[in-house]
Structure 1
């Protein structure tokens, strides 16, 4: 067994356990064990378990992102200090001061990628499990020969085998149009969900200071690059793996929407929208800036100076 295989072994064991457990649950509820719907629901159950387990990591990611926003002005000062300096000494000094800032504040610029990085071994493990199952081969633990054959023969909507991919269907003679259509729709949904998730962050959950920083330009690049990665790579993956990826994307999109709506980044458009909603309901939290209407003071009429002659005349009239 190679190093990658050794790393993936416990992950594959856990994936088989969760997948087979949900499959057994739905079978006990009366569903056909060999039906594609049963295996699809088992994959959905796998997504729910994996993403629920990653919620603490996601919360940690949110906290780290807030720290990065807090140090954005200091980070900008360091970048401006060495702007235009391309010598080796200046680069090392800039890197050293930046890392010291990260260490002192306890922030990590890579934290935003942590949930995705943790999911990648799970994704590769699932790909390996389904690749073996599509050949009818038993897994390393709970995926028996019988279950592997059932999965291999299961079809999505009774038309597209879960082990088939767009690329594989297109290379057949004749091509399997149904598989290609379903796979194409799933790729579009995967790409759209990824784009919407990134767009929520860029358009609503970033402060004006962040939008003026180089980090925002990198985020804008990811807004268009990541969906393209999903679009091109999705055509080569089996439908079972794509379904896991699609459901996981929908989970991320919904989770991001809830976080942005209820815990927005201070100074962002989402934070302003939240304050407006709370103000309309009369539920502004303590410390929030409330607009208090103060009646403008009436102008005081200036007394006109009176000459001595006029003062004497007015005195005689009395």
Structure 2
């Protein structure tokens, strides 16, 4: 019997989730998996990519009532006989963390950070965590008003970076531009908004996954070659960088992290390394790690069901990711059925 794995984040858009990459990795692993997509909107493109998502359900938005969210999630898992969950959105993780005992009582398996671990990687807490793992961070200031925004910009100078508490980061060069992005981020993600010192250099990321007690299941480092306006990876290449990999090991060891994660770095022309942020979930470029030989979703499941902890560390350097846009033509009836039934059936 195949293991049924429910995966969120199938919104393959400008700011994509990692769900399609996770599902693709599982389906190409050689193991026997049946994947269920978890979506928040009937227009999420993953719902219409039949080669990856043949069966999917709609969830309430993460901002909804916690009990309503949990009830719907557990109903889906019972209906689809789900064995394991891989949530990949920052904003949904608090629901899973607070309901972990109830989720596991249902026989579902999952890797998740604790609430303290999750809080420790929030952008406002980054300086303290960076000190623990020995990598400096740009100066950062959390703001909740126009007055605090202006004061922070006077302190940091221009250019600066305006960041949301969950997603989105925009370089700004004036008070007016900063205020526009401040309003945009607050409307979408709420307070606080993070103002960060702008560091010139190249962007590098590290993906990883940890099992119980911070046991590292795999790490892969990349250099970003092209990014979107929001700083999301559009093309990248796998690299070997001992300093970045060691920072990932220290992160896992110091926090005894559990689950997927991403560390974002900037390296200056003087080769100084700065930690820009830590994301408590798999990034959208996860399939590049799989293509390079480190299939983290498969290792995640094997750790949960087989207790496996020792995996090869080596991966192929020089693997190139190039993201592209495409179109999928479907009947309006497909959309209507998802809206009416809250489900896409095989």
TM-score (norm 2): 0.23
Indicate the structure with greater strand content: 2
Give the structure with the larger helix fraction. Answer: 1
Larger Rg: 1
